[in-house]
Structure 1
Amino acid sequence: MKVVSVSRDGQHRFSKQVTPAIRLLAGLGVEGDAHAGTTVKHRSRVRQDPGQPNLRQVHLIQAELLDELVGKGFTVRPADLGENILTRGLDLLGLPRGTKLSIGADAMVEITGVRNPCAQIDNFQPGLLKAVLDEDEQGNLIRKAGIMGIVLSGGEVKAGDAIHVELPPEPHFPLERV
C-alpha cells in the first residue's frame, strides 16, 4: 500500500497538478489547495451552507480505478480526476468510515466518506460519469471516484510513501456521500 502520486491546485478546477510532494495541514487539508480549510470549499456545498465543516479536505483515489478506466478506452492520468493522493494496493472504497490512514512519516488522514461524482466529470471526458458508477449484487449504487478525508496530523506526503491502515472500533459503518 503506497502513494503513487500527489497533486494540488490553488484554483477550483476539475483536474489538479501533479507535484513532487504535498504538505497536509492538521484540520485544514492540503497546503495551497483550493479545498483546504475548516469549512466546506466545494462550490455547490458553499452555496447550500458555507459554514458547514469541511469533511472533504483530502481526496484519495486508487490507481486501480485509473487502470480500469484506461482499459475501457478513457485517457486518464494522475490528478486528472482531481485527487490529492493517488494510491495503489489499498481498497479505498472498502474501508469503513473513521478509518485512519498514516501516510509517510507524519501525516494521518481520517476517512469521512465517499466522493459523489457529478456531471462535471462528463465535461472532462464524455461517458466518464457512467464509467465511475457501478452497482453491487443488490442493485445498490457504487461510487468509484474516490474517498474523502480530514487531516488529523500534518506532514509531507510524496510518491512512494507507505500507507498504513488503522480501522476504527467495531461496529464498522460503510462510507456514505460527503
Structure 2
Amino acid sequence: MKVVSIALSAEKGTRKTPVTTANLIAEHGLEGDAHAGKWHRQVSFLAGEDIQAARDRGIDVDFGDFAENIGTQGVDWPSLPVGTRVRLGKDVLVEVTQIGKKCHVKCAIYELAGECIMPKRGVFARVLHGGQLSIGDPITIE
C-alpha cells in the first residue's frame, strides 16, 4: 500500500493540481489546500484503482480530477470503519472521519466526468499528527 498521488487546490469544487510532496498540519490538513481547516474533512482519499475503473468506463480522468487530496494504491478506503487510524509515510497519522459525501451541486468534477465517485468511494480524515508526505510513501493501517 502506498501513496501514488498528492494534489492541492486553492478553491473548493475544482480539480486539484498534482504535487510530488506536501506538508500535512495536525488538526488542519494539507498546507495550501482549500479543504484544510478545523473540521472533520481535512484530507480526502481515493484509491487509484477507483480512478482506473472510471477510465475503464471511458471517462477521461486522472488523479486530482475528483478533488481528492491523496491517491493511493492497494487500499480499499470505503471498507475502513470510521475511526480507523492510518499512517502515511513515517510521520503523518490520520483518522478516518467519513465515508463518502453528499454532492449538493453539480461541481466542475461532475461536469468533467459526467459522474463523481467521491460520494461512494471517497474517504475523509482529520490529521492527528502532521509531517511531510511524498509520492511513493508507504501506507499502514493501524
Q: TM-score, normalised by structure 1?
A: 0.74
The match for 2:91 is: 106
The match for 2:5 is: 5
In structure 2, how many angstroms separate the alpha carbons of the residues matched to 1:150 and 1:164?
16
The match for 2:134 is: 158
In structure 2, how many angstroms separate the alpha carbons of the residues matched to 1:147 and 1:4?
16
The match for 1:43 is: none
The match for 1:125 is: 113
The match for 1:24 is: 24
In structure 2, how many angstroms separate the alpha carbons of the residues matched to 1:122 and 1:24?
27
The match for 2:45 is: 60
Report the aligned-residue RMSD: 1.5
Structure 2: which 5+ residue stretches go unaligned? Answer: none
In structure 1, how many angstroms separate the alpha carbons of the residues matched to 2:77 and 2:113?
23
In structure 1, how many angstroms separate the alpha carbons of the residues matched to 2:18 and 2:4?
11
Structure 1: which 5+ residue stretches go unaligned? Answer: 39-53, 134-141, 167-178
Which one of 78, 90, 104 corresponds to residue 93 of structure 1? 78
What letter is aligned with 1:143?
K
For residues 53-79 of structure 1, give each alpha carbon's deviation from its aligned partner in whole angstroms, at most 9, with x where no partner exists.
x11000000000011001100011011
In structure 1, how many angstroms separate the alpha carbons of the residues matched to 2:58 and 2:127?
34
Alpha-carbon deviation of 1:158?
A: 1.1
- Secondary structure at the aligned position of 1:150 is classed as strand
Q: TM-score, normalised by structure 2?
A: 0.92
The runs of at least 4 aligned residues of structure 1 exceeding 3 Å deviation read none
Q: Percent identity?
A: 35
What letter is aligned with 2:68?
E
Contact (CA 8 Å) 2:61, 2:113: kept in 1 or not?
A: no
In structure 1, how many angstroms separate the alpha carbons of the residues matched to 2:113 and 2:71?
19
The structure number with the bigger radius of gyration is 1
- Secondary structure at the aligned position of 1:4 is classed as strand
Alpha-carbon deviation of 1:115?
A: 2.7
- Secondary structure at the aligned position of 1:66 is classed as helix
